[in-house]
Amino acid sequence: MIYMKKVLIIDSHQLFRDFLKQKLSLDQIEVTLSQQNRDGYTKMISTLPNLVIMDMGDDYQAELDLLEKKATDINTSRIPVIITGPSTERSNIASLAKYGVIKYFAKPIQFDVFFDAVSKVLKIPLSMDLTPSMLDIHHNGNIIFVEFAMGLNQEKLSLLQYKLTELIEIEHIESPKVIIMFTGLDITFVDGCNIEFLIDNVLACPKIHTKNVKILSTNKFICDLIEGHRDYAGIEVSDNLPRILNTLIDTSVTSSVSDLITDRIITSSAVSDEEKSSINNSFYSDTNTDSIDSSKSGTVLNVGIIDSDPQSLLLTKTVFETVGSNCTQYSTGAAFLDDYEPGKFDLVILDVQLSDNRGIEILQSFQYQHDAPIAVVYSQSLQKDLVVKVLSAGAKSYILKPQKPNVLLSKCLGLLRS
């Protein structure tokens, strides 16, 4: 019998819930949906998922109450949580670590980075189309422009239905009209399935009708595909933008197509659509870089570990990485002070008995910083006067070395607060 990984999605937004479920189900992951926090805990207890994905609103007291309940229940306390939500201060994000939150993605979410995190938590590969592709969606009035460049990526094609529906709802667009454009793409018969998938996702939006979908293209294959497809009757393919605009825009406003293009098409919307969206159109994989921007990676906790004992340094790093922390190691105080800048860490774990004797200096450097990290001293038995000195210098706690890894982790996470 094949054991399926289980994910519980707690989200009040139906579109996002359905979008996540569709993607995860394709990879044989059992998905349970919870619309509101009030039944989230019940479903968590009944399913005991491998991962909880939770969306937080601007006022997230109900979500915090649920996380508190989860953290105090021995059956659910160790279930990892990935949260999506609004942009917030680092201190607020770091305080979530004590509830088992290992990733926090501020919206708009970078889709491929988000699912890479899900894949690592579940320890199973998720299918991802890495075809280079650029998708741009914007609108002027009730006309929505959908432009693909570089290539047709299956993930972005799947994303299209969600993005269009979200845009129409947020902007309250009545009778939306869609123009699909391909920039620099040589479409052939091998792209037939992708073209159908694209159009089907556009038409899956309840308010979009075939008569209001136009494709700007000179490609003969696209023309033949649309003309011969009974489900696409009413969709027009043309290489003439003014003609397409004349069929979509109320020309009683002006008889000049050039004015229409300038005033209604080129002029951008007052508010960026991307600022309001939940998922980013651009992916990390579009950049062709080797490292993911840490601000987009969803990291909840940035930890600095300073210890002259290599074995202790490695053990501490390993245990904090199990809860999704981004750990940076230093074997001397000088190395830390040279690299440190305000706001870099949420938590610093320090053995004050360093080879260069600069442990106290590190604590003192935090004292007058408004965004200083929480400092925990993790050292072998110290003389009483030294314990008093490190606590007076700003250490939040002194933990006697050695401790079992989970004990150290639990004590440090307990110190995190908003």
- Tens of pLDDT, residue by residue over 30-87, are 999 987 767 889 999 999 999 999 998 777 788 888 999 999 999 999 899 999 988 8
What are the distances in angstroms from CA 133 to CA 63, 127, 235, 328?
A: 36, 16, 24, 34
Q: What does the pLDDT read at residue 289? A: 57
Long-range CB pairs of 163-166 (<8 Å, 24+ gap) are 163/137, 163/277, 163/279, 163/281, 164/137, 164/201, 164/202, 164/205, 164/208, 165/15, 165/205, 165/206, 166/15, 166/277, 166/278
**What share of the chain has pLDDT > 70, as a percent?**
89
Q: What is the pTM of this model?
A: 0.81
pLDDT digits (tens, 9 = 90+) for 309-331: 999 999 999 999 988 899 999 99
**Region of residue 133 (left: phi > 0; alpha: psi -120 to 50; beta: else):** beta
Q: How far apart are CA 179 and CA 248, in angstroms?
A: 9
Q: What average pLDDT score do residues 214-226 get?
A: 90
